[in-house]
Amino acid sequence: MAYKPDSPKATRMQEIWLKFLLWRERHIKEKTFVIVLALLTGIFGGFMALLLKYLIHLISSLLSKGINITEANFLYLVYPVVGILLCIIFVKFWVKDNISHGVTRVLYAISQNKSRLKPHNIYTSLIASSVTIGFGGSVGAEGPIVATGAAIGSNLGQLFKMSPRILMILVGCGAAAGIAGIFKAPIAGMLFTLEVLMLDLTTVSVMPLIISSVTAATIAYIFTGYDVEFHFVQSDVFTMGRIPFVILLGLFCGLVSVYFTRVMMMMERFFGKVLHRQWHRALIGGVILAVLIFLFPPLYGEGYTAINNLLGSDPGAIVDSSLFYSDASNKHFILTFIGCIIIFKGFATSATNGAGGVGGTFAPSLYVGCMTGFFFAFLINNYMGLEMQLSAKNFALMGMAGVMAGVMHAPLMAIFLTAEMTGGYELFLPLLIVSAISYGTIKFFEPYSIYTMRLAQKGELLTHHKDKAVLTLLKMDSVIEQDFICVHPDMSLKQMVEVISRSNRNLFPVVDNDGLLLGIVLLDDIRNIMFRPDLYRKMFVRRFMSMPPAKIEVGQQMEVVMKTFDDTGAWNLPVVENGKYVGFVSKSKIFNSYRRVLRHYSDD
């Protein structure tokens, strides 16, 4: 296609914008301007969170009109499949990009793409997740709103030509705004960025994060009122005598978190490796999801109604609209029903995403946690024969924090989010205990959270290992040195000496006529013969060349490169591409680049 120059009007607008950017650079300090961008990110992120919640509620309300809660609803076999198909069509023919796993995509952008997210990420996840969840997809809206908020921050920063270091902060601000806006939880929003995205808390980042979180939460309060997300009233006072049961709940939540995480990853591998065609994934995932929702209606959508029922001490309502409505008063059945929900929620969530829906695992971890806490207390109260009764709704609240802390590896965020969403600050001590023990339990089994595991397995995770983070920011092309003179195996010692006289290096790659690397010649290895004229025509390069201790392939991760240096003890290693010589990489070059990047990203 022929190149079409910009119109005069567009060119004029670009000139005006460039002048504004230059004016801003001269008159507004970067730290001050970052605060302004954080405020804008918080405003836009807050409104997008409101829009997402409104769309989900609108679609869900329209579809649930006329549903009889006293009998099974066969539309549950249809709605989820329709929602997934609509989402697939939208993504395949409109978006034409991967928008699944919102938090993981944000982590990838930070790790591998200098915190740059595409403009379409501002709205595409929002639309796709609204349809998915509104039609019953058993996922959460928090992952998509994190991706949306992060995209807002990233694109604002790109618009104003901010550096990658500032883009990273603005991505964090957008993610914090998304969480704060959708949950009315500003502290949790900021802690999400620090614990899940693992951005450093510095003097540059702390104020923008606070401003964006508070701004988004304020917008949510203004337009939806001061009510908390989940209605919880602590009618049962928590006593210290229940601490042993709180500790046991923490262990139980940690084990449930391990189970949930492994089910999710197992199902993700199944959909990714076994089912190669999109429509096969959609069919099988849709059928799994539809059957599970038909049997267990609380799995429909985010499941917030079921959470409110358990926090409101109304466990019987959990069987509404199911085949088992008549068993609502049977405590044995209720316990079994809730246990099945805990077991199958991971399958329903992964089936939704695997089939082609768009949603996150944030709300499912809250949901499973609530069920886990209620199940634990209900089991103790009805089958252990203890005189002291546990408050099922108090333990449901603690379970929310426990499983979230385990699945997301974010205990502080889990504690404050649970308290902010429910107003359950009176239970702050048991929330601390459950979250800490659950987190410690899952760390014994799984070193990475459900978000970071995908990137960690590929070696693409930046934020959670600061030393590896800086190495990840280094690119192979920037450290390859190519000022080495190549020699051939048939060259004589005399010719080799002539090459040495023209070179500033003490290392020489040996290549054949096709450019394949055959070996290397070290100056120290031939120093004892290079001044013997009698050997000039008798000795050839192939006689005194040696093999390098290792070779670096073009495109290798810098973490792998450094491990190779450590294993070999070498100072210089050759770089090859399909066996052909490209250049050398040295420790000193890497260390210099490492220090430069470290100063750039740590500069306050």
Task: Assess contact for 297 and 74: CB atoms under 8 A.
Answer: no
pLDDT tens sequence across 412-444 = 889 998 888 888 788 888 999 999 999 999 999
Tokens of 71: 């009998």
Confidence check: pLDDT of 2 > 50: no
pLDDT tens sequence across 229-282 = 777 777 777 788 889 999 999 999 999 999 999 999 898 888 877 666 778 888
Q: What percent of the chain has pLDDT over 70?
A: 89
Q: What percent of the chain has pLDDT over 90?
A: 29
CA pair distance 146, 126, nearest whole angstrom: 10
Helix axes 304-311, 362-383, angle to 10 degrees: 30
Least confident of 176-180, 282-286, 308-312: 308-312
Burial of 360 (0-12, 13-18, 19+ CB in 10 A): buried
Closest listed residue to residue 424, CA positions, set 412, 434, 435, 416? 416
Confidence check: pLDDT of 590 > 80: no
pTM of the entire predicted model: 0.76
pLDDT tens sequence across 187-202 = 988 888 888 777 766 6
CA pair distance 419, 133, nearest whole angstrom: 25
Check residue 69 and report its DSSP letter.
T
CA pair distance 52, 59, nearest whole angstrom: 11
Average pLDDT, the chain: 84
Residue partners of 390: CB distance under 8 A and separation at least 6: 242, 245, 377, 380, 381
- Ordered structural domains, the chain, with CATH: 8-224 (1.10.3080.10), 240-468 (1.10.3080.10), 473-602 (3.10.580.10)
pLDDT tens sequence across 564-584 = 888 888 888 899 988 889 888
Task: Assess contact for 374 and 343: CB atoms under 8 A.
Answer: no
Least confident of 203-217, 507-521, 528-542: 528-542
One-letter amino acid at 205 equals S
Three-state DSSP class for residue 136: coil
CA pair distance 197, 222, nearest whole angstrom: 28
Confidence check: pLDDT of 49 > 90: yes
Task: Assess contact for 336 and 317: CB atoms under 8 A.
Answer: no
Apex 88 CA angle, 84 and 92, nearest 5: 175
Confidence check: pLDDT of 466 > 60: no
Q: What is the DSSP string of 318-334?
A: GGTTSTTGGGTT-HHHH
- The dihedrals phi and psi of 366, each to the nearest 5 degrees, come to -60, -45
